Structure 1
Amino acid sequence: TYPLMKLAEARNELDRLRAVLDQGRNPKLYLQQERAKYSANQSFESIFRDWIDSAGKQGLKEKTWHYQKRSSEIYLLPRLGKYPLTDITELSLRNCLREVSESSPSNTERLVSVLHKFYDWLIDEQILEINAAAGITAKKVGGKKGKRTRVLNDNEIRILWRYLHESKITEKNRIYIKLLLLLGGRKGELIQAEKHHFDLQSAMWTVPIEIRKQGEKIGAPIMRPLIKPAIELIELAMQMSKSTYLFPANGQEE
C-alpha cells in the first residue's frame, strides 16, 4: 500500500486481519466497511480519536502512546478538532504547530510525528487524497529542544503567586500553576496525573513508570511527598474534575 508500511506495521495489520478471519468474517469486506465509516467531511476530532486508539497505537510502547495521545488532546484537538478534514490545509497545521511551539517546542516535535502518521493513514485508507502534513517538519514550525537553565528566584515566585490571584485565568489553570510551584515536578507529570495517583491520607503522589521521564529505564515510579497546601489544592482540583485525570484537557471532562 501507499505510503509503504514499515515491517512491524505490516505484521500488526496482518495479525489484525487474521483475527477478523478467525471470527469467520471476510477481511476484504471488513476493510471496505471500515473505510466506509469515515468521510473527509467528518471532523478532525471524530476520526483522530478512533485512529489514536487503534491504528495510531500500533507498534508503540504504552508510555510513548500515552504521551502522544495526551499531547494531542491538549494541543491539537482544541485547535483543529471541530473542523472537517477537508477544511484543514497545510497552512492550518503549520499555524497550529507554531502556536504550540511558542510554549512547548518539545511537544511540537512529538505532534509533528503524530500528524505525519495520522495523515499517512488517512491517505492509505483513501479518506483523503492530499497529505496536508507531508511538507511539515519540526524545524519549519519552530519545534526545537533546548537545554533550559532558567529558574525563578524567590522574588519572581512571590510576584507570580500574587499575579495568579489577580489574573483572570481559569481556576483550573490557577491550581495547576500553583501545584507546579509547590511540588517542583515536571509539568508533563502533573498534566497526565490521574486522581488515583494521589493518596491524600498518606500525603503521597505516585508518579507511575509510564509517566515518569526515563521511568521504563529506571523501572520504578517516583514517590513525591505532599505538603498541606498542595493537598488542599489537589482536593479542590478533584472536586472540579469529572474526568479520571486531575487536569482534563478542555472539552474532555467526561
Structure 2
Amino acid sequence: MTVAQCLDYWFDNYVSTTLREKTQALYRSTVMKRMHDAFPNRPASSITVKQWVDLLTEEEKDNPRRARQVLSQLRSAISWCMRRQLIDSCAIMSIQPRDFGSRAEVGDRVLSYHELAKIWLAIERSRASTSNKLLHQMLMLWGARLSELRLATKTEFDLLDNVWTVPKEHSKMGNVIRRPIFEQM
C-alpha cells in the first residue's frame, strides 16, 4: 500500500466518518495536501527513515509548526492502517513529532478595556445589519464561539433563571456550557 493509498483509506474510513467537518478540513489542508503525493507509487513500508527525515526537513524549512502537525497526522494515518494490517511496518513510526518543527505557541495577549471599547463602538457605527451587530456584541460579552451562538435555538435560553445552556453538540470540547444572561441584554 502506498502513502497515498493509506491516506485515502484512512480519510475515507476514519476521518470522514468519525471526525467533525472542521477537523476533516484541517486534515485535508495539511497531511492530505502535503503528503498525499510524497513517494508516488512506492509502498509505504519501503520508505526509509532517512527519506522521511529528508522530506520532513524540507517541510520544516517552509513552516516549522506545520511540519510537526503534518508528521503527527501522518503518523496517525499510518498507525491506523497498521492496526488494520494494511501495512506491516513503516519507518515514519520511529520519528517523533518533537524531532521536527516547533509547537504552536499559545498566545497570552488580552485586550484592554480601551481596545474593547473601540471594537464595541466600531461595531455600533458599522453599516452591518442590526442582527450582525448584536451577534458580535454578544460574542464579546460572553466570550463564546461564533458557532455556539449561530447554532443556538430559543430553547437554549432560560429567561427565568437567566442562563444560556450551550448543548454539548454545539461546543468545541463536546461538553455542556452554561453562561449567564445579563439583565442589560
Q: Normalising by the residue count of structure 1, what TM-score does the alignment of the two structures yield?
A: 0.38
| 1:77 partnered with 2:33 | no
Deviations 1:43-74 (A, max 9, x none): 22123212212223454221112111221233
- Quick one: which amino acid aligns to residue 62 of structure 1? E
Residue of structure 2 in register with 1:62 after alignment? 21
Residue of structure 2 in register with 1:45 after alignment? 4
Structure 1 residue runs of 5 or longer lacking an equivalent are: 1-41, 149-215, 222-254
Stretches (4+) displaced over 4 A: none
Partner Cα distance (2:17, 2:52) in 1: 24
Identity %: 17
Contact preservation (8 Å) 2:46, 2:90: no
- Quick one: which amino acid aligns to residue 45 of structure 1? A
Q: 2:53 aligns with which of 88, 91, 94?
A: 94
Distance 1:125 1:217, change over 3 A: same
Partner Cα distance (2:145, 2:95) in 1: 31
Contact preservation (8 Å) 2:64, 2:101: yes
Number of aligned positions between the proteins = 113
Determine helix, strand or coil for the equivalent of 1:83: coil
Determine helix, strand or coil for the equivalent of 1:129: coil
Residue of structure 1 in register with 2:73 after alignment? 114
Partner Cα distance (2:6, 2:86) in 1: 10
Root mean square deviation of aligned Cα: 2.9
Partner Cα distance (1:118, 1:81) in 2: 17
Deviations 1:98-119 (A, max 9, x none): 2111112222232122122112
Where does 1:1-254 land on structure 2 (aligned, <5 Å)? 42-145=1-104, 217-219=145-147
CA deviation after TM superposition for structure 1 residue 140, in Å:
0.6
Deviations 1:136-192 (A, max 9, x none): 2222122433589xxxxxxxxxxxxxxxxxxxxxxxxxxxxxxxxxxxxxxxxxxxx
Structure 2 residue runs of 5 or longer lacking an equivalent are: 108-143, 151-185
Distance 1:59 1:136, change over 3 A: farther
Distance 1:135 1:143, change over 3 A: farther
Distance 1:127 1:63, change over 3 A: same
